[in-house]
């Protein structure tokens, strides 16, 4: 009880600290005659601006290799920059990637990264001085001994067939997965408190995460940061497919940024524009990383990402034109003063000759990277440089479409899911996974967490590819317990090349107790997305005609690092109707009438089929009294 109260008060404290936090940034910008400490804060990054870039490049490189993305920047454009390493204990980077999509839509992906060379979880070390790293999160990490935390809020569904793969995938609704430190004894207790605290921090309904929608995947979610603990007892994973993301979630998310939304790339985040889009996803990823190359000590990395897709059609105008101002109703005038690096990347891979779109202003900086198995070329705009902003002192990127929007894509890995059948008794969940690679088979790890009120008939589980039975090489199934635990199904399936694999399982819809229905029971109940994780063979490795002028000796054996890349694909959530009593007045009337009719008919029928005889006239009173006494005495009665 005391712990519970403590947790609650913590929520409040955190909320307040959270509210108070960005005000520090405000004063930072406005005041100039302030205390020495603040002066030093504003001084430090300027120093880094001048000389920190290459060290950052190294960090980037290492970072991206350890996640799903591989970077190869062999460009000579940054030769002019100096090589002095950064001295700051924590640093902040911001980045915006703009990718014109195949369908004519435009994808904007923000990433903000705060790196702090300190270890919260070390024994006896109490961290109380926070600079760039948000205190609200830091305290949460140390209190609940969190090793790694990933939380995402998504409104909309990523359309893989039209948009290709996202940089950071996320399922519709909210997703939270946390690795706890292996010293934690009561993981479930920590998890429960943590979700409540996070619910306060992000103004989201994460407090609806409880044991009935939490699972411990055995293989699908491995730690992305340092540490080799893979005992899934310390992992908790939950999704809330119904969570609706809106400005109230965006505001606390923005407040975690060192500059808030006052300067830098974050000024672009006007909620009325961000939520006028086809897809919106914001996320926070916290994990331990290496401090330096020798990896003697840990650093904490906070990565805040925001992904938006703007729709070409609903923009209303017939002119196919994108600009920063049109997308965000703001232009950029400066980088965040606290950031060591602040850049905009525009993907121009499909546009080498400028036949698809015009990009202005032009930039001399180019960068190449292998992202998601594909070699991409980017125009780079460095916001820390004055010349980027031109004479108008503001940067407004302009993209003018020339070509038509294309057909649908065939991404190498693609998955979708639906409920088959009709009626309210049974149904069948179909998960269809496509491998569109022309000649390579590859394994995928499928994870499915289904709420208990869909009672899965696991004996009906079938996996078929190319109309043949496909036996999974690994199956981990944890059956549900009514009102306590969801189903968890994990399978490792080999996808044959150029095939469609269908996973089906039948279920029965449970009849809930009447208090367990939501206030809108006829809307249906959500089943979270199915997660498909895979190492997909890379497009670069597929490329056999070497048009790029590579030396022959380097291109015979495909490079190992580039041969495959990690992808996580989320399917759409399901909306399933359960048998719902009609909670309305006519239903009650019918129930009542039926009861009355049943009772009436029963007795009526009884009377009709029974025969009655006229009884003997009743005994006189004296005899009845005598019989009463005789009954008590146990003597035969008088007649």
Partner 1 sequence: MGLLSDPNRRKALTNLLTRLNTPICMVCYLAAIVWFMGLAFEPFTLRTYMSENAMGSTMVEERFSAGERALSTAKEFDAHKRKAGGMPVEWLVKSMQARGLEVFTQSFSRKLPFPDENKERYMVHGTNVYGILRAPRAPRTEALVITAPCSPGNSNNQAVGLLLALAQYFRNQVYWAKDIIFLVNEHDLIGMQAWLEGYHHTNITGMDYSPLQGRAGSIQAALSLELSSDVITSLDLILEGLNGQLPNLDLANLFYAFCQKLGVLCTIQGKLQRNDWDSAEGYTHAAQTMMLMVLKQACGRSWGDHGLFLRYHIEAASIRGINSFRHYKMDATTIGRLLEGMVRKLNNLLERLHQSYFFYLLPSLSRFVSIGYYMPAFGLLAVILLLRYPFHSWALDLWVHLGTPALEAVDGVGEAEQPSSPGVLTVLTPVVISHLTGVALYLLPVHLQEMAVEHFPVSETEAVVLTAIAIYTAGLALPHNTQRLLSGEGTEQGWKVLKLTALLYLAVLLGCTALINFSLGFILAVTLVPITASITPNMPKALSALAMVLLSPAFTILYCVFIYQELVEVPVGFSEGWMLFLSVISQGILDHALYGSLVYPLLALFIYPCWLMFWNILFWN
What is the spatial distance between Cα 502 and Cα 504, in angstroms, rounded to a whole number?
6
Shortest separation between residue 293's beta carbon and partner 1, angstroms: 42
Give dist(CA 67, CA 224) in Å, integer.
Answer: 6
Taking the least distance from each CB to partner 1, the nearer of 575 and 637 is 575
Residue span binding partner 1 (CB under 8 A) among the ranges 356-364, 452-460, 491-499, 515-523: 515-523
Of 445 and 576, CB closest to partner 1: 576
Q: Which residue has the tokens 């998890």?
A: 191
By C-beta, is 479 or 600 nearer to partner 1? 600
Q: Does 577 bind partner 1 (CB under 8 A)?
A: yes
What is the nearest approach in angstroms of partner 1 to the Cβ of residue 500? 9
Contacts (CB under 8 A) with partner 1, residues 392-451: 405, 407-408, 416, 418-424, 428, 430
Residue 228 as a binder of partner 1 (CB under 8 A): the answer is no
- Beta carbon nearer to partner 1, 297 or 314: 314
Six-digit token string for 106: 């435009």
> How crowded is residue 69: how many other Cβ atoms within 10 Å of its Cβ?
18
Tokens of 13: 């404290």
Q: Mark the segment that binds partner 1 (CB under 8 A) among 55-63, 124-132, 282-290, 517-525.
A: 517-525
Q: Per CB under 8 A, does 241 bind partner 1?
A: yes
Report strand pairing: 531-537 vs 474-478: unpaired
Q: Minimum distance from CB of 412 to partner 1 (Å)?
A: 17
Q: Is the dihedral of CA 224, 226, 228, 233 positive or negative?
A: negative
Window 257-286: residues binding partner 1 (CB under 8 A): 275-280
Q: Is residue 613 a contact residue for partner 1 (CB under 8 A)?
A: yes
Structural contact between residues 168 and 374, judged by C-beta atoms closer than 8 angstroms: no
**Spatial CB neighbours of 589, under 8 Å, sequence gap ≥ 6:** none
DSSP 293-320: TT--SEEEEEEEEEEEEE-SSTT--SS-
Residue 620 burial class via C-beta count within 10 angstroms: exposed 0-12, middle 13-18, buried 19 and up: exposed
Q: Which one of 156, 443, 497, 558 is in contact with partner 1 (CB under 8 A)?
A: 156
* Residue with Cβ nearer partner 1 (239 or 305): 239
Q: What is the three-class DSSP state of 267? A: helix
In angstroms, the CA 284 to CA 623 distance is: 92
The least distance separating partner 1 from the CB of residue 495, rounded to whole angstroms, comes to 18
User: Interacting stretch for partner 1, rule CB under 8 A, among 217-225, 370-378, 606-614, 626-634?
Assistant: 606-614
Task: Name, in order, each residue with C-beta under 8 angstroms of 135's C-beta and a sequence gap of 6 or more.
Answer: 17, 21
Instruction: Please report whether residue 54 would count as binding partner 1 according to CB under 8 A.
Output: no
- Choices 70-78, 125-133, 209-217, 569-577 (CB under 8 A): range interacting with partner 1: 569-577
Which lies closer to partner 1 via its Cβ, residue 137 or residue 312?
Answer: 312
Residues 6+ apart with CB under 8 A from 392: none
163 in contact with partner 1 (CB under 8 A): no
Q: Which residues make beta-bridge pairs with 342? A: 94
Distance from C-alpha of 546 to C-alpha of 548, rounded to nearest angstrom: 5
The strand pairing partners of 175, in sequence order, are: 152, 239
According to CB under 8 A, which residues from 299 to 328 bind partner 1? 311-314, 316
Neighbour-count burial of 569, counting CB atoms closer than 10 A to its CB (0-12 exposed, 13-18 middle, 19+ buried): buried
524 binds partner 1 (CB under 8 A): yes
> Using CB under 8 A as the criterion, which residues of the chain lie in contact with partner 1 when the complex forms?
155-157, 159, 161-162, 172-173, 241, 275-280, 311-314, 316, 405, 407-408, 416, 418-424, 428, 430, 520-524, 526, 572-577, 582, 584, 603-604, 607-609, 611-614
């Amino acid at each position: 009880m005391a712990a519970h109260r403590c947790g609650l008060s913590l929520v409040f404290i955190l909320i307040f600290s959270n509210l108070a936090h960005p005000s520090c940034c405000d004063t930072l910008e406005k005041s100039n005659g302030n205390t020495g400490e603040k002066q030093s804060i504003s001084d430090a990054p300027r120093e880094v601006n001048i000389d920190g870039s290459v060290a950052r490049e190294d960090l980037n490189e290492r970072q991206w290799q350890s996640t799903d993305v591989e970077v190869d920047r062999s460009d000579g454009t940054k030769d002019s920059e100096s090589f002095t390493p950064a001295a700051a204990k924590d640093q902040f980077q911001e980045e915006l990637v703009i990718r014109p999509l195949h369908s004519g839509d435009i994808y904007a992906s923000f990433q903000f990264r705060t790196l702090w060379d300190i270890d919260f979880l070390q024994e006896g070390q109490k961290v109380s001085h926070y600079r760039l790293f948000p205190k609200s999160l830091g305290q949460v990490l140390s209190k609940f001994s969190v090793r790694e935390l990933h939380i995402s809020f998504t409104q909309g569904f990523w359309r893989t067939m039209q948009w290709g793969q996202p940089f950071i995938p996320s399922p519709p609704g909210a997703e939270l997965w946390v690795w706890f430190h292996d010293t934690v004894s009561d993981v479930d207790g920590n998890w429960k408190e943590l979700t409540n605290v996070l619910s306060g921090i992000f103004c989201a309904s994460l407090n609806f995460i409880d044991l009935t929608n939490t699972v411990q995947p055995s293989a699908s979610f491995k730690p992305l940061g340092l540490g080799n603990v893979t005992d899934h007892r310390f992992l908790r994973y939950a999704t809330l497919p119904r969570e609706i993301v809106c400005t109230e979630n965006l505001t606390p998310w923005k407040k975690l940024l060192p500059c808030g939304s006052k300067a830098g790339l974050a000024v672009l985040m006007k909620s009325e524009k961000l939520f006028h889009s086809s897809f919106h996803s914001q996320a926070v990823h916290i994990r331990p990383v290496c401090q330096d190359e020798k990896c003697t000590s840990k650093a904490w990395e906070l990565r805040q990402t925001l992904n938006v897709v703007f729709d070409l059609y609903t923009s209303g105008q017939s002119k196919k034109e994108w600009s920063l101002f049109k997308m965000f109703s703001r232009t950029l005038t400066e980088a965040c003063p606290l950031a060591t690096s602040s850049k905009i990347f525009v993907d121009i891979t499909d546009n080498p000759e400028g036949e698809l779109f015009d990009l202005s202003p032009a930039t001399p900086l180019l960068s190449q990277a292998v992202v998601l198995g594909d070699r991409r070329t980017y125009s780079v705009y460095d916001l820390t440089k004055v010349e980027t902003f031109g004479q108008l002192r503001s940067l407004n990127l302009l993209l003018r479409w020339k070509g038509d929007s294309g057909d649908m894509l065939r991404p190498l890995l693609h998955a979708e899911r639906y409920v088959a059948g009709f009626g309210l008794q049974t149904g069948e969940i179909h998960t269809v996974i496509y491998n569109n690679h022309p000649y390579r088979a590859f394994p995928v790890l499928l994870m499915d967490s289904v709420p208990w009120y869909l009672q899965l008939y696991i004996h009906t589980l079938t996996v078929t590819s190319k109309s043949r039975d496909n036996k999974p090489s690994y199956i981990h199934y944890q059956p549900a317990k009514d009102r306590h635990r969801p189903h968890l199904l994990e399978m490792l399936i080999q996808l044959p090349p150029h095939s469609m694999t269908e996973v089906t399982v039948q279920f029965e819809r449970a009849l809930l107790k009447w208090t367990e229905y939501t206030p809108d029971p006829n809307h249906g109940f959500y089943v979270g997305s199915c997660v498909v994780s895979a190492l997909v063979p890379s497009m670069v490795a597929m490329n056999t005609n070497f048009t790029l002028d590579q030396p022959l000796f380097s291109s015979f054996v495909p490079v190992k690092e580039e041969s495959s890349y990690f992808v996580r694909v989320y399917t759409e959530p399901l909306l399933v109707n359960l048998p719902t009593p009609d909670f309305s007045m006519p239903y009650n009337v019918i129930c009542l009438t039926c009861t009355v009719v049943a009772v009436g008919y029963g007795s009526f029928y009884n009377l009709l089929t029974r025969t009655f005889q006229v009884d003997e006239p009743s005994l006189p009173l004296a005899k009845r009294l005598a019989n009463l006494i005789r009954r008590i005495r146990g003597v035969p009665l008088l007649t």
